[in-house]
């Protein structure tokens, strides 16, 4: 009796592999879009949480947002208590710097202007719980924002991926006045893609050395498979309570 072979022929194997490859090619773009959509939704949730906390702060402080001096004279600071250990444009800043004790994150944690202990941590309000949002909360980290190109690994280390338009060199900004600004000037918080943080533990401003060069800027979110800045956008939370996607330079 001739035994019938139970193994696949080469042709059958190639057909199966081809079908699997075709299915992967069809499904991968959909999976990628779903992943980017999920990150966009999470980012909007983060922005809304921070924006609502800023509005709550304003309601408790005569409609005034955190002032220029109270946030350390800069709209993008690292998470309270962290050191800045990575090289940025303008030179390396090592562990000899002070830990961060300024910024909007400190103000929203303490409910008041920035205060610094010897260890650089914000002094929490009575009871030890944050007044609005803890300074090291995960809501300050956009899941898509990897920072500038070439050195993307640094952004999560900073503990913050968002910038704030709550400051003014002329003093505190009234939230009602901000609501009367042009739409693109009425953002409270947005995905940062243009600024490095200032030196931890020091008040700014810090000059152009803390602005990311145009050629190194990486937009946080993308809307197509080309993954170019022309097809990318940042998200902002506006003073009227809505989130909006904004293309590059818009």
Say if 217 falls within a structural domain.
yes
DSSP category for residue 219: -
Residue 195's pLDDT is what? 86
CA pair distance 120, 110, nearest whole angstrom = 13
Say if 29 falls within a structural domain.
no
Say if 5 falls within a structural domain.
no
Give residue 215's domain range. Answer: 46-247
Per-residue pLDDT of the chain (250 residues; tens, 9 = 90+): 555 556 668 787 888 888 888 887 777 766 777 788 888 899 999 999 999 999 999 889 888 888 777 788 888 888 888 877 655 544 444 555 678 888 899 889 888 776 665 455 556 666 678 889 988 899 999 998 888 776 656 777 888 999 987 666 555 567 777 777 666 668 889 999 888 887 788 887 777 667 888 888 888 887 665 555 556 788 999 888 888 887 765 5
What's the token pair of residue 238? 């506006």
Tell me the whole-structure pTM to 2 decimals: 0.79
Helix runs in the chain, H state only? 10-59, 104-110, 155-158, 175-179
Say if 51 falls within a structural domain.
yes
Say if 9 falls within a structural domain.
no
CA pair distance 210, 154, nearest whole angstrom = 14
Residue 199's pLDDT is what? 77
222-236 per-residue burial string, b: 16 or more CB within 10 A, e: under 16: bbeeeeebeebbbbb
CA distances (Å), origin 17, targets 8, 10, 21, 25: 12, 11, 6, 12
**Number of domains the chain is built from:** 1
CA pair distance 150, 135, nearest whole angstrom = 27
Do the strands 91-92 and 232-238 form a parallel or antiparallel pair, or are they unpaired? unpaired
Paired with 238 in beta bridges are 187
CA pair distance 32, 230, nearest whole angstrom = 18
Say if 26 falls within a structural domain.
no
Say if 189 falls within a structural domain.
yes
pLDDT in tens, 64-99: 888 777 788 888 888 888 877 655 544 444 555 678
Say if 163 falls within a structural domain.
yes
CA distances (Å), origin 30, targets 106, 209, 224, 231: 40, 40, 11, 17
């Amino acid at each position: 009796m001739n035994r019938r072979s139970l193994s696949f022929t080469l042709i059958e194997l190639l057909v199966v592999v081809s079908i699997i490859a075709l299915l992967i090619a069809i499904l991968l773009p959909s999976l990628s879009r779903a992943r980017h959509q999920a990150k966009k939704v999470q980012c909007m949730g983060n922005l809304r949480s921070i924006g609502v906390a800023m509005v709550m702060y304003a309601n408790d402080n005569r409609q005034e947002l955190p002032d220029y001096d109270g946030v350390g004279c800069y709209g993008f600071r690292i998470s309270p208590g962290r050191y800045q250990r990575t090289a940025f444009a303008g030179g390396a800043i090592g562990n000899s710097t002070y830990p961060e004790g300024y910024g909007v994150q400190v103000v929203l944690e303490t409910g008041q202007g920035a205060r610094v202990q010897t260890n650089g941590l914000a002094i929490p309000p009575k009871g030890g719980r944050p007044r609005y949002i803890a300074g090291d909360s995960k809501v300050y980290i956009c899941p898509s924002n990897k920072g500038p190109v070439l050195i993307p690994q640094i952004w999560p280390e900073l503990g913050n991926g968002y910038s704030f338009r709550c400051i003014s060199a002329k003093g505190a900004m009234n939230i009602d006045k901000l609501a009367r600004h042009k739409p693109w000037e009425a953002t409270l918080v947005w995905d940062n893609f243009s600024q490095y943080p200032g030196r931890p533990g020091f008040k700014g401003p810090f000059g152009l050395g803390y602005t990311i060069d145009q050629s190194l800027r990486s937009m946080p979110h993308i809307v197509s498979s080309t993954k170019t800045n022309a097809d990318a956008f940042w998200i902002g939370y506006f003073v009227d309570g809505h989130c909006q996607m904004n293309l590059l330079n818009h």
